[in-house]
Amino acid sequence: MKILVGTTKGVFLISGDQHRTGWKVNGPYCDVWPINHVIADPATGELWAGGGGDMHGAGVWRSSDEGETWEVARLTTGMMDEWAANDPGFAAIINWQDEPLPFTDEFSQIWSLGFAHDTLYAGSKPASLLASHDRGKTWERVSGLTNHPSAKDWDPGAAGLVLHTVVSDPADAGKLWVGISAAGVFSTEDGGKTWERRNRLSNAEGCDRNSHPAAPSDGETGHCVHNMVRAPGPGDLLYQQNHHGVWRSADGGRSWDDITQGLPSTFGFPICVHPRDANTIWTVPLNSDGDGRFPPDAAAAVWRSSDGGNTWQDLRDGLPQESCFYTVLRQAMTRDERDPVGLYFGTNTGSVFSSLDEGDSWQEIARHLPTILSVEVLDV
């Protein structure tokens, strides 16, 4: 098993044995680029890493040998291109080639990746959705989302206007959901040709307009979605960690119910769902965006619900309970598909924690990494 870790200083791979023990850290890879998200195709072991920034521009790295070697498909230019164009010596040092890039300077980073039905998707900053039909070698824009009538009114979140979440339906290639901060949830059912904005509150009792200052005033859940997952099984059951709460949708995002009650705060980033039980979810609450974005009372906990968010339980065994000021970012929590399910999360202080009993107990399996931006699993 490999844990795929995207950081501010490249990709790290944490390899373990068949018992999910004996972890060893390798890296950094991808020329120490900032990497926002690393994913894998479990059928082939192929890896993709999306990232970049003002210096490098945006790009998607690809490895066909489970991370031993990497090559990059650069998508936009960065400051290094401007420097190299005006400094032959610098151009020679970085082996710069004066060649056009497919999206010039239209966006600065890849923030999220998703792979489904032989299509690789990438979300960018500023927000747009790209698709590759040749496993990351070439890319095209999903123009139906770019040209959505609401696009002119999309507002950035604190990290900018980013498309940070791509969710697919394993049984239907035409269905896709994306999360954009701070424009909300969008969904397509025709492979990206047309998109529908899906942020409305349900009519459930007590599901009133949210009083959080980041919430819109028109009865929507709030446009600053932080992360979203689709539950296993038939139907389109979705869970969302928002800027101001955790939400559940039984109808593919057409309406949302607030399931935050029982959690210690309304703020957090990741949300994770069990691979076989649609009612079991995990999240990592933080105190608030204005109070430091660390665990409430500086005591770490992962919170689990086994009934679809009706009740919550805090899981603390093995996690620091004093002076804990880390943040767990939106893509920095994942799970494997074993029985019992293994859970993994990374912190902005460079630690990776693992639970082999669905969250009941935790162990720190890596430390002193750079700021961790994403955590995924390759289990082959």
pLDDT of residue 205: 64
CB 40 within 8 A of CB 96: no
pLDDT of residue 220: 85
Q: How far apart are CA 191 and CA 316, in angstroms?
A: 42
pLDDT of residue 211: 61
Count of other CB atoms within 10 angstroms of residue 160: 14
Q: How far apart are CA 267 and CA 171, in angstroms?
A: 32
Count of other CB atoms within 10 angstroms of residue 237: 19
pLDDT of residue 221: 85
Token couple for 74:
């650069």
Count of alpha carbons within 13 Å of 11, Cβ hemisphere only? 31
Residue 105 has pLDDT above 60, yes or no: yes
The CA-based diameter of the chain, rounded to the nearest angstrom, is 67
Q: How far apart are CA 266 and CA 246, in angstroms?
A: 7
pLDDT of residue 209: 52
> Range with the lowest mean pLDDT among 135-144, 201-210, 352-361?
201-210
In 3D space, the residue among 304, 310, 296, 301 whose CA is nearest the CA of residue 258 turns out to be: 310
Residue 218 has pLDDT above 90, yes or no: no
Percent helix, strand, coil in the chain, to 5, is: 5, 40, 50
pLDDT of residue 203: 80
In 3D space, the residue among 258, 249, 173 whose CA is nearest the CA of residue 211 turns out to be: 258
Structure confidence at residue 219 as a pLDDT band (50, 70, 90): confident
User: Distances in Å between the alpha carbon of 308 and those of 249, 252, 274, 313, 361?
Assistant: 10, 15, 11, 12, 21
Q: Which residues face 353 on adjacent strands?
A: 345, 364
Residue 207 has pLDDT above 70, yes or no: no
In 3D space, the residue among 277, 274, 279 whose CA is nearest the CA of residue 259 turns out to be: 279
The conformational region for residue 63 under phi > 0 = left, psi -120 to 50 = alpha, else beta, is beta
pLDDT of residue 210: 58
Token couple for 378:
């390759």
pLDDT of residue 355: 98
CB 328 within 8 A of CB 308: no
pLDDT of residue 11: 98
Q: Which residues face 201 on adjacent strands?
A: 256
pLDDT of residue 72: 97
Could you report the per-residue pLDDT of 141-169, keeping only the tens digit for each?
999 999 999 999 999 988 999 999 999 99
Q: How far apart are CA 194 and CA 210, in angstroms?
A: 29
- Calculate the dihedral angle through the C-alpha atoms of 181, 187, 192, 195, rounding to the nearest 10 degrees: -90
Question: What are the φ/ψ torsions at residue 245 (nearest 5 degrees)?
Answer: 140, 170
Three-class SS of residue 147?
coil
Average pLDDT rounded to a whole number, residues 285-308: 96
Average pLDDT rounded to a whole number, residues 214-229: 85
Average pLDDT, the chain: 95
Average pLDDT rounded to a whole number, residues 88-103: 93
Three-class SS of residue 130?
strand
Give the rounded percent of residues in the chain with a pLDDT score beyond 70: 97
Average pLDDT rounded to a whole number, residues 338-365: 98
CB 273 within 8 A of CB 229: yes
pLDDT of residue 208: 56
Tell me how many helices (H) and strands (E) the chain has: 3, 28
pLDDT of residue 204: 72
CB 255 within 8 A of CB 202: yes
Count of other CB atoms within 10 angstroms of residue 289: 14
Structure confidence at residue 340 as a pLDDT band (50, 70, 90): very high
Could you report the per-residue pLDDT of 25-52, keeping only the tens digit for each?
999 999 999 999 999 999 999 999 999 9
Token couple for 127:
């927000």
pLDDT of residue 54: 96
The conformational region for residue 112 under phi > 0 = left, psi -120 to 50 = alpha, else beta, is beta
- DSSP result, 141-162: E-HHHHT-TTGGG---BTTBSE
Token couple for 82:
């401007």
> Range with the lowest mean pLDDT among 22-26, 35-39, 96-100, 223-227?
96-100
Could you report the per-residue pLDDT of 248-286, keeping only the tens digit for each?
999 999 999 999 999 999 999 999 999 999 999 999 999
Average pLDDT rounded to a whole number, residues 73-101: 94
Could you report the per-residue pLDDT of 71-85, keeping only the tens digit for each?
999 999 999 999 999
